[in-house]
Amino acid sequence: MASSGVPPNPTAHNVAHLLPKLHDDDPDFRFMALNDLQQILNVAHPAFLNHDFTTCAKTVDGLLNTLNDTNGEVQQMAIKCLGPFVNKVPD
Protein backbone atom coordinates (compact mmCIF):
# COMPACT_ATOMS: atom_id res chain seq x y z
CA MET A 1 0.00 0.00 0.00
CA ALA A 2 1.11 3.50 -0.76
CA SER A 3 1.21 6.01 2.07
CA SER A 4 -1.95 7.69 0.72
CA GLY A 5 -3.99 4.52 1.18
CA VAL A 6 -4.17 3.89 -2.55
CA PRO A 7 -2.86 0.43 -3.50
CA PRO A 8 -0.09 0.24 -6.12
CA ASN A 9 -2.25 -2.04 -8.35
CA PRO A 10 -5.83 -0.89 -7.76
CA THR A 11 -8.84 -2.90 -8.86
CA ALA A 12 -12.48 -2.12 -9.55
CA HIS A 13 -13.14 -3.28 -5.97
CA ASN A 14 -11.01 -0.39 -4.68
CA VAL A 15 -13.17 2.03 -6.67
CA ALA A 16 -16.40 0.39 -5.47
CA HIS A 17 -15.21 0.77 -1.88
CA LEU A 18 -14.97 4.57 -2.33
CA LEU A 19 -18.33 5.12 -4.00
CA PRO A 20 -20.54 5.29 -0.86
CA LYS A 21 -18.28 8.07 0.46
CA LEU A 22 -19.19 10.24 -2.54
CA HIS A 23 -22.71 10.54 -1.07
CA ASP A 24 -21.61 11.24 2.52
CA ASP A 25 -23.01 14.26 4.36
CA ASP A 26 -19.52 15.52 5.25
CA PRO A 27 -17.85 17.43 2.39
CA ASP A 28 -14.42 16.43 3.72
CA PHE A 29 -15.26 12.74 3.22
CA ARG A 30 -16.53 13.45 -0.30
CA PHE A 31 -13.37 15.43 -1.13
CA MET A 32 -11.02 12.76 0.22
CA ALA A 33 -12.92 9.99 -1.57
CA LEU A 34 -12.60 11.92 -4.83
CA ASN A 35 -8.91 12.51 -4.15
CA ASP A 36 -8.39 8.76 -3.63
CA LEU A 37 -10.47 8.01 -6.72
CA GLN A 38 -8.33 10.35 -8.80
CA GLN A 39 -5.14 8.68 -7.54
CA ILE A 40 -6.55 5.23 -8.26
CA LEU A 41 -7.56 6.25 -11.77
CA ASN A 42 -4.13 7.74 -12.40
CA VAL A 43 -2.13 4.66 -11.34
CA ALA A 44 -4.47 1.85 -12.41
CA HIS A 45 -3.99 -0.30 -15.46
CA PRO A 46 -5.86 1.20 -18.44
CA ALA A 47 -8.24 -1.78 -18.66
CA PHE A 48 -8.94 -2.28 -14.96
CA LEU A 49 -12.62 -1.26 -15.29
CA ASN A 50 -13.29 -2.96 -18.64
CA HIS A 51 -15.41 -5.78 -17.24
CA ASP A 52 -17.11 -4.09 -14.29
CA PHE A 53 -19.98 -2.15 -15.79
CA THR A 54 -21.79 -1.86 -12.44
CA THR A 55 -18.85 -0.06 -10.82
CA CYS A 56 -18.54 2.18 -13.88
CA ALA A 57 -22.23 3.11 -13.72
CA LYS A 58 -22.07 3.78 -9.98
CA THR A 59 -18.94 5.89 -10.48
CA VAL A 60 -20.75 7.98 -13.09
CA ASP A 61 -23.61 8.47 -10.62
CA GLY A 62 -21.17 9.48 -7.87
CA LEU A 63 -19.28 11.90 -10.12
CA LEU A 64 -22.53 13.52 -11.31
CA ASN A 65 -23.61 13.89 -7.70
CA THR A 66 -20.34 15.54 -6.71
CA LEU A 67 -20.31 17.80 -9.77
CA ASN A 68 -23.55 19.27 -8.38
CA ASP A 69 -22.12 19.49 -4.87
CA THR A 70 -22.68 22.62 -2.77
CA ASN A 71 -18.98 22.62 -1.82
CA GLY A 72 -16.74 24.18 -4.49
CA GLU A 73 -13.68 22.15 -3.52
CA VAL A 74 -15.64 18.92 -3.96
CA GLN A 75 -16.82 20.11 -7.37
CA GLN A 76 -13.25 20.94 -8.43
CA MET A 77 -11.99 17.54 -7.34
CA ALA A 78 -14.83 15.86 -9.24
CA ILE A 79 -13.76 17.74 -12.37
CA LYS A 80 -10.18 16.51 -11.87
CA CYS A 81 -11.49 12.93 -11.78
CA LEU A 82 -13.39 13.17 -15.06
CA GLY A 83 -10.42 12.96 -17.43
CA PRO A 84 -8.76 9.94 -15.82
CA PHE A 85 -12.14 8.21 -15.45
CA VAL A 86 -13.07 8.69 -19.09
CA ASN A 87 -9.70 7.23 -20.10
CA LYS A 88 -10.37 4.06 -18.03
CA VAL A 89 -14.04 3.43 -18.90
CA PRO A 90 -14.80 0.79 -21.51
CA ASP A 91 -16.21 2.00 -24.82
For 69-77, the CB contacts below 8 A with 24+ separation are 69/27, 69/30, 70/27, 71/27, 71/30, 71/31, 73/27, 73/31, 74/27, 74/30, 74/31, 74/34, 77/31, 77/34, 77/35, 77/38
Q: In the prediction, which pLDDT does 8 show? A: 84
Q: What is the mean pLDDT of residues 68-87?
A: 96
Q: pLDDT tens for residues 56-74?
A: 999 999 999 999 999 999 9
Q: pLDDT tens for residues 32-57?
A: 999 999 999 999 999 999 999 999 99
Q: In the prediction, which pLDDT does 24 show? A: 96
Q: Inform me whether the pLDDT recorded for 2 exceeds 90.
A: no
The model's pTM is 0.91
